[in-house]
Chain A
């Protein structure tokens, strides 16, 4: 990313926050509709002792689930890329399961795996796994047949073709899946936390709403957004390094 892009991004954010602040004062909006950014920042700072452990829990759940889901998704895609008959059998079902909004499974996850971190990690692994799996499988199977023929003419077997051709060709698609998954992992963590947990930013938000403490709600949203942005940024930066030929 060039410095100009970063600068323009920062300028845009500053304008938005400034405008927000100005609107709140100009129309003297009540806090429960929209608190001013300055108030949110102040609350975030003063509530840091409670927000920090919640943020750490949320980040832990999202990252663990993400790592597990990504690894499983890629591994399963590689297996199905080799086993064509199995793919034809399983793929329709996978797509069907994936098309149900994840939040629908969250109560079941809580029922089966409790209100601790495990239920969130499994939910995140589930959604990330599907996203990465579908992207990876698409990348692995959509290779140039002429390139496969060329490798075969050099004497390469299926495993060799997977390693030398399919996997590198699939990297852009896999990277896209991983990038989209960062945000999804955060969303699923927060939603599942809201439905049942003892600690985490989603839980903080849910409780603060019950207590009609809207500044606290916004403070938790701010912290969750920062985690999400950093997560997305780091994965995007890695993507640009790994998929350099694109």
Chain B
């Protein structure tokens, strides 16, 4: 699904959170979004998910068409928000249930998907019995079960320890190549942003704008060694400079 954002801004009272954001994402593309905290990344996501209206003048088009966005993109918030009274499978089935899809076929689909998500044998477990990495995989699976071409992932690995996180990143790339969805991914971690993306988009400090749009032409499939490759480091330096500049601005403001 092609996403085009143009001139999208948002004011909260007197505070200008987002300032004329323009961004195009091609079908099947993996784009990561980084920027200092409070730069309006989550505001942008909420608008893309249809939870928040952009201010007049901006437009968000899916495949060239405007219209209500609620229920048209698969949104995954920062916290896993798994429901403790539902087991793994029933948590993943939540969006299908809300959509009113036939239960038997959704269930069969979820059981198959659970294998890819490393949740086989845990279908009947409850969230509180799972590790952080597993909970995040359940939340991701729930997002994939909501079959939308555009997926919005808001720092899905932010709360994980470094080792689990790098494993989850490689695993996500694997899943992405298998399911081929368009992904927009927020992160605070520059390594993560480069490692995953076709393009890294850097946002400015508030009011948020697109400061830098950097294509990442590193070959795929990517593995852990990439993180120490010279071409990776060169990109990282460039992005660090951009992010640092913005962070300093928000710090002194």
Contact = CB atoms under 8 A, between A and B. Distances in A.
Chain B CB within 10 A, most for which of A151, A152, A154, A164: A154
A144 B85 CA distance: 15
A interface bracket (residues with beta carbon within 8 Å of B): 10 to 19
A229 interface: no
B195 interface: no
Contact of B95 (A147, A149, A154): A154
Contacts of B70: 152-153, 155
Contacts of B158: none
Chain B CB within 10 A, most for which of A153, A160, A164: A153
Contacts, number: 50
B39 to A, nearest CB: 19
Interface string A124-155: 00000000000000000000101101111111
B106 to A, nearest CB: 13
B49 interface: yes
Contacts of B73: 153
B128 A154 contact: no
A153 B49 CA distance: 6
B51 A152 contact: yes
B79 interface: yes
Contacts of B81: 144, 146-147, 150
A180 interface: no
B50 A153 contact: yes
A153 B126 contact: no
A112 to B, nearest CB: 42
Interface in B80-131: 81, 83-85, 94-95, 97-99, 126, 128
A190 B128 CA distance: 43
B77 interface: yes
A168 B85 contact: yes
Contact of B98 (A144, A146, A154, A245): A154
Interface string B158-188: 0000000000000000000000000000000
B46 interface: yes
B215 interface: no
Contact of A168 (B71, B83, B99): B83
Contacts of A153: 49-51, 70-71, 73, 75
A149 B152 CA distance: 13
Given A153-B70, A155-B71, A164-B94, A146 B99 contact: no
Given A153-B49, A154-B99, A245 B85 contact: yes
Contact of A149 (B77, B85, B97): B77
- A-B pairs, 10 with minimum CB distance: A155-B71, A245-B84, A153-B75, A154-B95, A154-B98, A153-B49, A156-B98, A147-B81, A168-B85, A245-B85
12 contacts: A146-B78, A146-B81, A151-B94, A152-B51, A154-B94, A154-B99, A155-B71, A164-B94, A171-B85, A244-B85, A245-B84, A245-B128
Interface of A: 144, 146-147, 149-156, 160, 164-165, 168, 171, 244-245
Interface of B: 46, 49-51, 70-71, 73, 75, 77-79, 81, 83-85, 94-95, 97-99, 126, 128, 146
